[in-house]
Structure 1
Amino acid sequence: MNLFADIRALVIDTLTAMTQAGDLPGGLNFDNVTVEPPRDPAHGDMATNAAMVLAKPAGRKPRDIAEALAGALAQDDRITAVDVAGPGFLNLRLSDALWQGVVGAVLSEGTDFGRGTLGQGRRVNVEYVSANPTGPLHVGHTRGAVFGDALASLLDFAGYEVTREYYINDGGAQVDVLARSVYLRYLEAHGQVVAFPDGTYPGDYLIEVGEALMRAVGERYVDEDEGVWLAEVRDFATEAMMDLIRADLKALGVEMDVFYSEKSLYGTGKIEAALEDLKSKGLIYEGVLEPPKGKTPEDWEPRQQTLFKSTAHGDDVDRPVMKSDGSWTYFAPDIAYHYDKVQRGFDMLIDVFGADHGGYVKRMKAAVSALSDGRVPLDIKLTQLVKLFKNGEPFKMSKRAGTFVTLRDVVDQVGPDVTRFVMLTRKNDAMLDFDFDKVLEQSRENPVFYVQYAHARVASVMRKAAEAGIAVDDATLTGADLALLDHEAEIAMARKLAEWPRLVETAARSNEPHRVAFYLYELAGDFHGLWNKGNDVPGLRFLQEDDVAASQAKIALARAVAVVIAAGLGILGVTPAQEMR
């Protein structure tokens, strides 16, 4: 049930009837007609811009259209009042029965309430985390992991077929550095004293890997030339790091469908095939790029390179795919990887990058546009930095990692549920302050606690009702006399529940899962407000003494709140609390 979609359908049907009656000209496009909550709740339950967006194409004054539309809509039993506001906005008031019916719909559909059909089964690939396999995931990866995973869940809830994917950057020079670092730990495990040169990875997390390598190969590589051991140690170390990364992700509640190796693109013809596709479209050529901005002729050496004509698809400059020495640029395998995604038949691609990848956006979008002939859209989401605080001070680096705070540091401090929720309390492209003390506070200022407390309060009501002998299973509550929910505060609560399906669709259209966290905080606030009103208005208390019917109706409303909170937390990957400790 999506009440906003239902009323929009009523508006569209009414406009269509007006067209057929000759009150509006034919051929009008109704796509931009919206029905949404008014900015000021005092103006009504819903508002539509129909008259405003149709006035110009219809050649009519917006107020004339609004008044005619208002008269027609007023004939529907669901509408109790229609007001024309300003130049032509329509404010609608709906019957209480409609809002009361939302409570029944939530209980009937359970946590599937709000599950949409926006995606229509279209296939979407969400690539996120994709950290270099050279060490543990750090706090920046944590935010990307949470954001990407919640976005994938949101899109699934909105009706898309979602694939969660991790791109393993195991084809570059950094994995050679990893292998050399592990080799030093391997020598250390054999009792040698080693020094870590600049550019290697000195973190303690490689001690266990070096020891594992010693157990696997014994003394075979001791004091051998790099050419003997580099390739095998690189594979061994990469797999060990990926095991560590998978364990870190699991601790956060993240499970990938696909781990795709960059190395699999080399020597397999995949890079050549992708570039051949672009070449067949006239988008690969030999040329010399202009000097980068800020470079003078004295410090710029023009070189003939193989270039991708990315400017033909919206980029600022063309991009090199092969260096003058014949080796691939870093961009070439990225093109091939996205070509593979297009070939796998995805209808939409989403990449979640760190904020330092802003320069990749236009070139990757240009590549996917060219490879798919504009058929497959690519949305790139950048996640901004996270600042960590504890005891009022910046949180120090992890001794084990050596240079940064790890995902495990964060999860071990506050748990996966708190970590995930807090990471979604800001839009992905906004900086986030993560204060270890504040995220564990039991106060309204802590959104994690505030939302979980609302769910736990409902669970408490359910337990007390059961102890009092009142049946509160969902089947019984669905059949409760919801007409007894006639107080304005209860109707307002039902209105908030009705926003959930629309919120899901809005968040999925914009790829913004933080909207779910924001909505849950607002829903929890409304519920706590209703709870507190019961202290002053006995008729609003969820348990009504000697009145089972009224109790069941009010508990049905509370239960509906808990169901929607559970559905929203499910999208965020957070377990609903049954009680607060």
Structure 2
Amino acid sequence: MDVFVGFHGHVLAAVQQLKHDGVVPDDASVEGITLSAPKDPTHGDLATNAAMVLAKPAGVPPRKLAERIVPMLASDPGIDKVEIAGPGFINLTLSRAFWPSVLRMVLEQGDAYGRSAIGKGEAVNVEYVSANPTGPMHVGHCRGAVFGDALANLLAFAGYDVTREYYVNDAGAQVDVLARSAFLRYREALGQDIGDIPEGLYPGDYLKPVGESLASNHGRDLLDMPEAEWLPLVRATALKAMLAMIEDDLASLGIRHDVFFSERSLTDGGHDEVAATIADLKTKGLIYKGSLPPPKGKVDEEWEDREQLLFRATEFGDDQDRPLIKSDGSYTYFASDIAYHRDKFRRGFKSMIDVWGADHAGHIKRMGAALAALTENEADLDVKICQLVRLFRAGEPVKMSKRAGTFVTLRDVVDEVGAGPVRFMMLYRKNDAPLDFDFAKVTEQSRDNPVFYVQYAHARASSVLRNVREMFEDLDVGGSDLARADLDRLNDDAEIALIRRIAQFPRIVEGAAQAHEPHRLGFYLYDLAGDFHGLWNRGKDLPQLRFIYESDRELTRARIALVAATQRVLALGLGILGVQAVHELH
């Protein structure tokens, strides 16, 4: 049960009564009526804008309409106080007798608490990471990987049918550069002196094993071949090795994908999907030959000063029309991307989420235009941009990785601080805001380190559940048994505040899923941990508020029920973020 949904129903019932009484027209829409938690808790537990929304169709000032709604809501036994605020908002304070029912529900539902059906099984494709398969994952990829994975978890928890996808850019010039770099390491493995790595090739040591594998499998045979012959052989070997390394790097963060989609597959196998996509657009009258003025500001790498094949992107909100074929006859990256998204649509995905790096922000309009054109606005594309991550150690910038040669790898970061801290901190800021990641801070055991603070709350709750068995050996701390405790005995302000926070979890999940913003869950868990730590500290200062009360078994049972519910919600939230809920901290 979502507390907000339940009382939203009460508000709508009051509105229906107003329609029945002729105060509000029958055709007045109720879609804009919301129920939310006031920012200031002193204003109550819930607030509705019903009077504000219906004032105009009713032809009545909002406060006057609110005065008609208030007594209808006040008659509900679960509501203790109803007040009008400002121009006509209505604030509701729920009765203390209501909150134990929320706690009981959490304990009875267990791991199902907070799960939602708002997704209605809708198929959603979440494409994330999609880094060029030319080397190890770097810390910039790490943020997009964690964000995409947590968003996929969140959507699945909210009832969507989620497919996690990685788009393998294996058709561009960069994979030929990879092959030439691997060939250099192959020569090195055969004992040749390769000197310094030439400009333009990948210098990292991660290609040495690829060179050794080539030497083991081919001996010196590749040396006698012209490049046109050895290049595809080396490229295939290098790509396979790079993808295996990428999957292994992602696995260290608990990240997996359901689909690895090869860009090369769009044009291999006897059928050219890019050509078919262009033909599709042509039949819609959206392709023409023309020339484009040079782009303002940063030069578009796909712009050429010549007549070329263009897509009418401006008809769908883009800044300019877009080229599809380069002067050498090859497709632009944009043309391949259109074909790829067309393929997603043909696979049944009308809802697509792409997680991109900050350097791709300029491509959002053109991709949205292309998808709108191809699907006649049937498909929805939401592009989430992940801004840059800056690494520090005790305030000092972190230098590049020796293994990668030019950047700090994802694996370097995970190996140093662990997957949990990396994931949580990558999600503890909105994806489109820059992120500073300090190795010292994320391992610090203080309230200033959010991941520690939340993990400590779960570990502390686990400790309480272990300790209560020492005093009451036969006490069952399972959820179903604790749900039968006398929860009305929980009446301290801090206890009620903690239950209120627990009650917000389903609404936080739904809101974060609908907005595609998993960071909201990280913020919520920090606040939940703060409420729990605050209650624990009150027990230190006031012995009568301790969770385990030796002289009163039933009061202890009720308080343990609150601890168990808190631990459950912390674990559920951390699970969605992909962070292990630890039972002990060392």
Settle same-fold status: TM greater than 0.5: yes
Aligned to 1:256: 257
- Residues 134-159 of structure 1, C-alpha deviations (whole Å, 9 max, x = no match): 00000000011000000000111111
Equivalent residues of 2:24, 2:57 under 8 A apart:
no
Which of 312, 315, 325 is 1:312 aligned to? 315
Equivalent residues of 2:23, 2:58 under 8 A apart:
no
SS at structure 2 position matched to 1:387: strand
Equivalent residues of 1:288, 1:302 under 8 A apart:
yes
In the alignment, structure 1 residue 492 sits paired with structure 2 residue 497: yes
Give the aligned residue type for 1:244. Answer: M
SS at structure 2 position matched to 1:201: coil
- Residues 441-478 of structure 1, C-alpha deviations (whole Å, 9 max, x = no match): 11000001100000011101100111222321222111
Alpha-carbon distance, 1:541 to partner: 1.0
Q: Which runs of 4+ in 1 moved over 3 A?
A: none
Give the aligned residue type for 1:102. Answer: V
Q: 1:334 to 1:66 in 2, by over 3 A?
A: same
SS at structure 2 position matched to 1:352: strand
Alpha-carbon distance, 1:223 to partner: 4.4
Alpha-carbon distance, 1:577 to partner: 1.0
Distance, in Å, in 2 between the alignment partners of 1:194 and 1:223 is 17
SS at structure 2 position matched to 1:378: strand
Q: Relative to structure 2, which stretch is displaced further, 270-279 or 117-126?
A: 270-279
Equivalent residues of 1:146, 1:423 under 8 A apart:
yes
Aligned to 1:245: 246
Distance, in Å, in 1 between the alignment partners of 2:327 and 2:245 is 38
- Residues 206-257 of structure 1, C-alpha deviations (whole Å, 9 max, x = no match): 0001101111222210243201200111111101100000000001100100
Write out aligned runs for 1:2-401 (5 A). 2-195=2-195, 196-267=197-268, 268-293=271-296, 302-401=305-404
In the alignment, structure 1 residue 529 sits paired with structure 2 residue 529: no
Equivalent residues of 2:55, 2:62 under 8 A apart:
yes
Distance, in Å, in 2 between the alignment partners of 1:575 and 1:212 is 37
Alpha-carbon distance, 1:511 to partner: 0.5
- Residues 102-121 of structure 1, C-alpha deviations (whole Å, 9 max, x = no match): 11111111122111122111
Distance, in Å, in 2 between the alignment partners of 1:23 and 1:32 is 18
Distance, in Å, in 1 between the alignment partners of 2:82 and 2:313 is 52
Equivalent residues of 1:187, 1:194 under 8 A apart:
yes
Distance, in Å, in 2 between the alignment partners of 1:546 and 1:471 is 18
Distance, in Å, in 1 between the alignment partners of 2:20 and 2:164 is 47
Distance, in Å, in 1 between the alignment partners of 2:581 and 2:95 is 32
Q: Relative to structure 2, which stretch is displaced further, 180-189 or 212-221?
A: 212-221
Give the aligned residue type for 2:239. Answer: T
For structure 2, the residue ranges without an aligned partner over 5 or more in a row are none
Equivalent residues of 1:342, 1:371 under 8 A apart:
no
Equivalent residues of 1:425, 1:517 under 8 A apart:
yes
Distance, in Å, in 2 between the alignment partners of 1:63 and 1:218 is 86
Equivalent residues of 1:465, 1:471 under 8 A apart:
no
Alpha-carbon distance, 1:384 to partner: 0.7
Distance, in Å, in 2 between the alignment partners of 1:317 and 1:289 is 8
Alpha-carbon distance, 1:580 to partner: 0.9
Equivalent residues of 1:112, 1:567 under 8 A apart:
no
Which of 444, 452, 455 is 1:452 aligned to? 455
Give the aligned residue type for 1:137. Answer: M
Distance, in Å, in 2 between the alignment partners of 1:328 and 1:246 is 28
SS at structure 1 position matched to 2:171: coil
Give the aligned residue type for 2:232. Answer: A
Give the RMSD, CA atoms, in angstroms. 1.4
Give the aligned residue type for 2:87. Answer: P
Distance, in Å, in 2 between the alignment partners of 1:366 and 1:561 is 46
Alpha-carbon distance, 1:537 to partner: 2.5
TM-score (norm 2): 0.97
Write out aligned runs for 1:468-507 (5 A). 468=471, 469=473, 470-507=475-512
Distance, in Å, in 1 between the alignment partners of 2:327 and 2:205 is 39
Give the aligned residue type for 2:35. Answer: V
Distance, in Å, in 1 between the alignment partners of 2:213 and 2:329 is 37
Alpha-carbon distance, 1:12 to partner: 1.1
> Alignment length, in residue pairs?
578
For structure 1, the residue ranges without an aligned partner over 5 or more in a row are none
Distance, in Å, in 1 between the alignment partners of 2:316 and 2:363 is 14
Alpha-carbon distance, 1:325 to partner: 4.1
Q: 1:211 to 1:546 in 2, by over 3 A?
A: same
Give the aligned residue type for 2:492. Answer: H
Equivalent residues of 2:313, 2:322 under 8 A apart:
yes
